């Protein structure tokens, strides 16, 4: 029996389980992700799937006790599975340790080019070898290569048998409808997923059980007090002025009347999509515009700017990140306080320069929309201000994690500015689930 890789599948010259006959090609095929199962079931098969290669690498890596435990659990699960740890808990170090342990060809997948470059820099520093990169205008394949999810998906058929170890950073992305094809089409025997937030609202994380080995280790902030910066969270209510409060209530009523009259229950993303789809009539469009206007009022009352001014004056010289849900607010803050704004509109070179200046201390305040919510290493920021945000627990954990990397004597504070008597209070409660410590609701 001979097996080999072809376009995201394993091909066999014999009709045997789990191979199925493909009428189009006249071959017996199985999904590539079953390679490990096939190899165990047919140990004497002539194996032309992957060129097994041992790498001459030896990094000196000291892990914390919980990181060691997570690696042990991964090894016990046949070097497959997802490790869930909060932002700032050292997931990258776990990934580097896994590569050092197996010493085999490795593909690291990350969602953003910033994360790809961070991984590449750290891998090169620890192993002292050239690291490949695919994405961001580069296509350089090495024994250890870092790639974006987009490129890993587009190049799955050609790259699928080149790496024995697959590391998926922010692995919740892989459960998306398109990216799950990466997990299916790569023949990597060993798989490690890393994330701070495993569960997805659409429940697609359940797909990772079959393709990545499922969740095998998890710790939350409350279990890592000795390894992260001390932190406090202050939720500050901000009053709307009289005119804005009247306009908010008027628009909110238009929206609520519409969903009540059409029996639409807004309990999640899918329900809201139903509302959007049902709004393509004059009354629905009016309700949609009213919802947008009420949200805009809640996001941006003038009082939030004054509270922000007070917070910045209270922490002069402290590295501070100001988060907002939309780009307009980020640019407004940038103009008001003469600080750089990082949004999806910021060119990559400019974005990189601002982050380098922030790390070096040449600037101490950044305003951003959602671009820093995930996958940007800002090791010594200590103050975060949420001007506005979604109800996503993932987003909240990522924003909190931006300020939790430990340093001697460091204390971190996250401020939430929440418009009083608006839907923002409910949004704030939803996103803080699973972060039970460090909370102070006082004004």
The pLDDT tens digits of the residues spanning 110-153 come to: 998 888 988 999 999 999 999 999 988 889 999 999 999 999 99
Compute the residue count for the chain: 443
Q: Where are the alpha helices (DSSP H) in 166-227?
A: 180-185, 208-212
pLDDT, averaged across the chain:
86
Instruction: List C-alpha distances in Å: 37 to 34, 41, 162, 189, 415.
Output: 5, 6, 18, 9, 49
Q: Is the pLDDT of residue 376 over 90?
A: no
Residue 419 three-state SS: strand
CA-CA distance, 192 to 178, in Å (whole number)? Answer: 19
Rounded mean pLDDT, 251-260: 85
- Phi and psi at residue 5, to the nearest 5°: -95, 140
Closest CA to 81 of 182, 13, 200, 183: 183
Encode 162-200: b = buried (16+ Cβ within 10 Å), e = exposed: bbbbbbbbbbbbbbbeebbbbbbbbbbbbbbbbbbbbbb
Looking at residue 443, its pLDDT comes to 40
Most confident range, picked from 244-248, 308-312, 398-402? 308-312
Token pair in block for residue 342: 């990082």
CA-CA distance, 76 to 379, in Å (whole number)? Answer: 32
Beta bridge partners of 12: 3, 28
- Phi and psi at residue 211, to the nearest 5°: -95, -25
Q: Which residue has the higher pLDDT, 53 or 105?
A: 105
Lowest mean pLDDT among 90-99, 140-149, 227-236: 227-236
- pTM score, whole prediction: 0.78
CA-CA distance, 150 to 72, in Å (whole number)? Answer: 31
Domains of the chain: 2-48 (3.40.1170.30), 65-220 (3.40.50.300), 230-239+301-440 (3.40.50.300), 242-298 (no CATH)
Looking at residue 54, its pLDDT comes to 92
Q: Is the pLDDT of residue 308 over 90?
A: yes
For 357, the enclosing helix (H) or strand (E) is helix 348-360
- Phi and psi at residue 225, to the nearest 5°: -55, -30
Rounded mean pLDDT, 81-107: 93
Looking at residue 374, its pLDDT comes to 61
Q: Is the pLDDT of residue 267 over 70?
A: no
Handedness of CA 18, 23, 24, 28 (dihedral sign): positive
Looking at residue 379, its pLDDT comes to 56
Grade residue 442 by pLDDT with cuts at 50, 70 and 90: very low
Using the 8-state DSSP alphabet, how is residue 240 labeled?
Answer: P
């Amino acid at each position: 029996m001979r097996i080999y890789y072809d376009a995201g599948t394993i091909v066999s010259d014999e009709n045997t389980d789990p191979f199925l006959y493909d009428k189009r090609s006249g071959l017996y095929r199985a999904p590539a992700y079953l390679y490990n199962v096939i190899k165990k079931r047919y140990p004497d098969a002539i194996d032309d799937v992957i060129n097994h290669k041992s790498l001459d690498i030896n990094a000196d890596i000291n892990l914390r006790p919980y990181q060691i435990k997570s690696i042990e659990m991964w090894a016990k699960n046949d070097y497959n599975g997802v490790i869930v740890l909060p932002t700032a808990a050292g997931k990258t170090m776990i990934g580097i340790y896994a590569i050092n342990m197996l010493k085999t060809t490795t593909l690291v997948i990350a969602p953003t080019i910033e994360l790809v470059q961070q991984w590449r820099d750290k891998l090169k520093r620890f192993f002292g070898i050239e690291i490949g990169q695919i994405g961001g205008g580069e296509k350089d394949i090495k024994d250890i290569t870092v790639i974006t999810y987009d490129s890993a998906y587009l190049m799955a058929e050609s790259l699928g048998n080149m790496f024995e170890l697959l590391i998926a950073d922010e692995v919740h992305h892989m459960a998306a409808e398109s990216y799950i094809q990466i997990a299916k089409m790569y023949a990597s025997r060993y798989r490690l997923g890393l994330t701070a937030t495993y569960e997805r609202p659409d429940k697609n994380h359940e797909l990772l059980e079959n393709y990545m080995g499922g969740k095998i280790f998890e710790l939350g902030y409350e279990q890592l007090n000795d390894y992260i910066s001390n932190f406090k969270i202050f939720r500050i209510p901000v009053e709307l002025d009289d005119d804005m409060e009247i306009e908010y209530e008027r628009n909110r009523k238009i929206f609520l009347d519409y969903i009540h009259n059409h029996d639409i229950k807004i309990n999640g993303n899918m329900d809201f999509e139903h509302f959007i789809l049902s709004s393509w009539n004059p009354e629905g469009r009016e309700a949609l515009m009213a919802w947008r206007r009420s949200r805009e009022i809640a996001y941006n009352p003038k009082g939030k700017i004054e509270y922000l001014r007070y917070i910045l004056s209270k922490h002069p010289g402290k590295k501070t990140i100001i988060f907002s849900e939309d780009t307009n607010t980020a640019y407004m803050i940038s103009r008001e306080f003469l600080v750089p704004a990082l949004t999806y509109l910021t060119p990559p070179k400019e974005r990189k320069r601002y982050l380098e200046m922030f790390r070096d201390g040449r600037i101490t305040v950044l305003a951003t929309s959602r671009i820093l919510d995930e996958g940007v290493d800002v090791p010594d920021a200590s103050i975060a201000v949420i001007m506005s945000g979604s109800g996503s627990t993932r987003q909240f954990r990522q924003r909190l994690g931006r300020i939790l990397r430990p340093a001697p004597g460091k204390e971190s504070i996250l401020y939430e500015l929440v418009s009083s008597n608006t839907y923002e209070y409910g949004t704030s409660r939803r996103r803080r689930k699973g972060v039970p410590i460090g909370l102070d609701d006082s004004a």
